[in-house]
Amino acid sequence: MRSLPATSPVSGNIIVPGDKSISHRAIMLGAIAEGITSVRGFLDGEDCLMTLRAFQAMGVHIDGPTSQCVVIHGVGKYGLQKPQQIIDCGNSGTTMRLLAGILVGQAFDSQLTGDESLCTRPMERISQPLMQMGAEISTTNGCAPLSIYGGKTLHGIRYTMPIASAQVKSCLLLAGLYAHGETCIIESKPTRDHTERMMSTLSYPIHQAENMSMITSGNGVGTEIIVPGDISAAAFFIVAATIIPGSVLQIKQVGLNNTRIGIIKILQQMGADITIIKTEMYGEELVGDLIVKYAPIRGIVIPEALVPLAIDEFPIIFIAAACAEGQTVLRGARELRHKESDRILAMVQGLQTLGIDAEDLDDGVLIRGGSLHGGTVDSYMDHRIAMSFVIAGAAASTPVTILNTESIKTSFPNFVQLANTVNLNIMPF
């Protein structure tokens, strides 16, 4: 894919696809609830389709997706059937980690695998606490494939999270639905709480207090869910409008969950002009429109408290830092090395190729803002790396070619088409 320098400001009114995290959870929690759950705004990217297919393989009837709508005919907590084959999670860490929490409570054995990238990501962070609950689960040298042995009696635990991870927290809360007693998860740093909010929407027995989530064994009830626009998808357009002179862009119906708006807070500290209007609630989730205008931005030391609230958006934040005046420093983000790629290394290498002074730190980066030049960068089959460098190309002096961009379809199937409607100039190979 090739991204050409912008010849006009970014402008228009757009709606980004539905939130990926919420779409995953709607399928999972709807499938094990009693009755029908209808979902509007479902993200029909490859990652979420992996979750949908996994539950279809376990006997759940799901209509769609049709026009981003699905209807899930819930089978209840114990209504899942043994899959006939190993469940393939593709590139989706959310599918694998959250699904493991459900499968340890089933009567049947199961296996989870994924693509080459997913099978390098750490899985002991879920297997160890699940075994503390009484589950029997084995990894492959600490990674996938996972083997899960059903029919075990689970008990609730009090678990303090050693790593800020919404996926681990969600996995344990899902397992807690099948456990005797109370499962209590304690966080030192807040992470996205979509699981807890959706559990509440579907009447699961969830309770939240400060830095703590608690679940007891119980059942959910099907309902209607509207999925807001994904702020992780909006992030690419937020940065594009911020760094391209003259831009004014409105992004409608974006999810503004307070555990997900780290990117807005970071960019505003850098001097970005971002205004939130027309807020409303979609169930338990806050939604609003964003108006983003071009503004000169400056480098900052990113507060570590904001790191878990922007963990998926750092690749595109690094592009903003490359266009900012002065130096941007990120620390406390070692988790970026364990995503679909080593996002610290991949982004630093790409920025250096495009003429930016960037340093690879153990748990973050140091970026000195400058002028982006053209060049060829590798996305390492990471969708967020690929889309970030597409935006870099719009701000560069000459075209940027991005290799291995097929992964964009995992989270944002219509990215190229939508980008071109707001005056970005992207040419697929």
pLDDT digits (tens, 9 = 90+) for 2-47: 999 999 999 999 999 999 999 999 999 999 999 999 999 999 999 9
Q: Does the annotation mark 63 as catalytic?
A: no
Answer for the pair 55, 31: CB distance below 8 angstroms, yes or no: yes
For residue 375, give every residue at least 6 positions away whose Cβ sits within 8 Å of its Cβ, in sequence order, or none. Answer: 353, 354, 355, 400, 401
Q: Give yes or no: residues 39 and 184 share one domain.
A: yes
Same-domain pairing of 266 and 412: yes
372 has pLDDT over 80: yes
Share of the chain above pLDDT 70, in %: 100
What percentage of the chain reaches a pLDDT higher than 90? Answer: 98
Query: Does residue 213 share a domain with residue 82?
Result: yes
Residue 180 has pLDDT above 90, yes or no: yes
Domain end among 226, 255, 281: 226
What's the rounded mean pLDDT across residues 73-86? Answer: 97
Q: What is the mean predicted confidence (pLDDT) over 92-120?
A: 97
Q: Give pLDDT, residue 316.
A: 98
| CA 216-28-189 angle, 5° bins | 60
Indicate whether 239 belongs to any domain.
yes
Instruction: Give the amino acid at 82.
Output: K
Q: Residue range 223-232: average pLDDT?
A: 98
Average pLDDT on 397-416 reads: 95
Instruction: Using the predicted structure, report yes or no on whether residue 429 has a pLDDT greater than 80.
Output: no
pLDDT at 113: 98
The active-site residue out of 230, 289, 312, 382 is 312
E strand or H helix at 209: strand 206-209
User: How far is Cα 265 from Cα 39, in angstroms, rounded to an integer?
Assistant: 30
Q: What pLDDT, on a 0 to 100 scale, did the predictor assign at position 274?
A: 98
Residue 5 counted as domain residue: no
Examine the fold and report which residue of 195, 226, 257 is the final residue of a domain before the chain moves on. 226
CA–CA separation, 401 and 381 (whole Å): 14
1 residue type, one letter: M
* 189/120 same-domain check: yes
CATH number at residue 110: 3.65.10.10
Inter-residue contact 158 to 184 (CB < 8 Å): yes
108 & 257 share domain: no
Contact of 324 with 302, CB cutoff 8 Å: no
| CA proximity to 132, closest of 109, 103, 154 | 154
Would 160 be classed as within a structural domain? yes
More confident residue, 209 or 324: 324
- Residue 46 CB coordination number (10 Å): 18
Q: Please tell me whether residues 136 and 124 are part of one structural domain.
A: yes
- Which pTM does this prediction carry? 0.95
- Stated as kind and residue range, the H or E segment containing 5 is none
pLDDT band at 136 (very low <50, low <70, confident <90, very high): very high
Residues 214 and 232 in one domain: no
The answer to whether 109 and 86 are in contact (CB under 8 A) is no
pLDDT in tens, 51-72: 999 999 999 999 999 999 999 9
Same domain, 42 and 99: yes
15 lies in some domain = no
Mean pLDDT computed over 261-277? 98
Rounded mean pLDDT, 395-420:
96
> Is pLDDT above 80 for 286?
yes
Residue 270: per-residue pLDDT: 98
Contacts of 301 (CB under 8 A, 6+ apart): 328, 329
Beta-carbon-side half-sphere exposure of residue 232 (alpha carbons within 13 Å): 23
- Which range of residues forms the domain containing residue 88? 20-226
DSSP secondary structure code for residue 221 in this structure? B
- Rounded average pLDDT over 340-352: 97
- Residue 210: pLDDT band (50, 70, 90) is confident
pLDDT of residue 419: 97
Quick one: 261 and 314 in the same domain?
Answer: yes
Q: Is 13 part of a structural domain of the chain?
A: no
Does residue 121 belong to any structural domain of this protein?
Answer: yes
Tens-digit pLDDT profile for residues 310-324 = 999 999 999 999 999
User: Do 252 and 195 fall into the same domain?
Assistant: no
Residue 1 included in any domain: no
Q: Kindly state whether residues 346 and 272 are assigned to the same domain.
A: yes
| Number of structural domains the chain divides into | 2
Which are the contacts of 128, defined by CB distance < 8 A and separation ≥ 6? none
Indicate the residue among 191, 226, 261 that finishes a domain: 226
pLDDT-derived band of residue 77, with 50, 70 and 90 as boundaries? very high
Predicted confidence band at 428 (pLDDT cuts at 50, 70, 90)?
confident
- Kindly state whether residues 246 and 386 are assigned to the same domain: yes
Q: Which residues on neighbouring strands pair with residue 5, listed in sequence order?
A: none
